[in-house]
Structure 1
Amino acid sequence: MPGLEIRGLSHSFGPQTVVEDLSFSLPQGEVGCLLGPSGCGKTTVLSMVGGLLLPAAGTIDHSFRHPVFVFQDPCLLPWRDARDNIAFGLKAMGVGRRQRLERADRLMEIVGLASDDGAKFPHELSGGMRQRVALARALAVEPDLLLLDEPFSALDVGLRRQMQSLVRRLIAERNLTALLVTHDLAEAVRLADRILVLSPSPGRVAARHHIPEPFVQRDDGFVHCMVNRLLADPATAQALAVELS
């Protein structure tokens, strides 16, 4: 099956084991979510999937050629304007400047930025605009796997909802696969097809959930009901008790 396959994944930082014997699958074209309390190893798993860390044990197999991260902090270069930040990855790929900027302009329109915004530097952009630039930069290199490390958590509720809808729409339009890290159960229900609940450190699989409903059907009422249904599962409720208390 094409997609992501993780078997027996473990990792430690010094004497502390942060992830232990983790196994899960994510089919191509779906959105997976690593959900759990702070410190349970969610970002560590994401870093191993993206090649930033080597696992101490276990295997990571996938068919993706261009995994790209989108972080909570947009990590924009402060000395480059928005257009050049979006095009930055293309420069490393050897794409000519004219083509880089043309693609950046197309992506600004796709993520809801005005043409005038392209000439603004990061300090001149709002938090939501900076996150749109970060998303456009990720899309510029034509990824097939998005690794999303709490990219919406620093936004207010209205902007968070807008960005969630934008990302989900782009994933569908481009047939991308995504792995999202969050500690927010409602966000997991709203965005993910598959949810892997991790126990407090060391992170182990506490529960697995599949959300088959299409994204367009996941209104506030659906999310509320599904959150309550998942919390009725004792393993899920226990794993998330640190965040819910």
Structure 2
Amino acid sequence: MRKTIHSTTWLIIALFLISACGTVSTTNQQPDSDRNATTTSGTTDKVEVSLIRIVDGDTIKVNYNGQEETVRYLLVDTPETKAPNKCVQPYGKDASKRNEELVTDAEKLELEFDVGGRTDKYGRLLAYVYADGASVQQTLLEEGLARVAYVYPPNTRYLDTFEEAEATAKNDDEAVWQQNGYVTDRGFNGCATSQDTSDTPVDSTSNESTQFANCTELRKTYPDGVPSTHTAYQRKFDRDKDDYACE
């Protein structure tokens, strides 16, 4: 009789411990909905913004969370546009005009952030931009008005898609791809010969270089700085080695 009671007691204790462990495990387990939110939050969700104005082919200003923010398009680069009397690269104005058409005519303008940093060193938002659900970056690439550039992992979600769009435009000799050597790994090679962006590019290496003593002097003529393809570019002024001087 005593052995039976003893065995029963140990059985009850064992069942209690098993039950307690199960309770702890269930309590600490994250609900499915929370796990999914943690995994996907901030990656593919889009946020609606309102357009303030166009800056150029790959940059806009928007109202985001009640604040005016500059948005730099992720993974693409378009030819430079400057004020009259300053360097205007071929197809730069075309890219700006097309960008303006896409984002201005849209009923809904949205941003999508990647998994990496949301801003660059200038404080600009880095995002994929959508006009009525269509990727603005992809459209510019498909039409030959942009190149794939500034690839900084982990912000590379659509890199494969964008490279395919670029390859198609290149194969079809669209816009910037019409002349060999105009598009380089460092940017676009040269300036337009006039205000007409359809003019043949001029290789900056064939022009007499415009020299400035320092960035202060350079900015008097080029307030936004100059890319490496510009005649006024000097390596010593490019302190962060991003192929853009005195920005």
Q: Normalising by structure 1, what TM-score?
A: 0.24
- Bigger CA radius of gyration: 2
**More strand per residue:** 1
Q: Normalising by structure 2, what TM-score?
A: 0.24
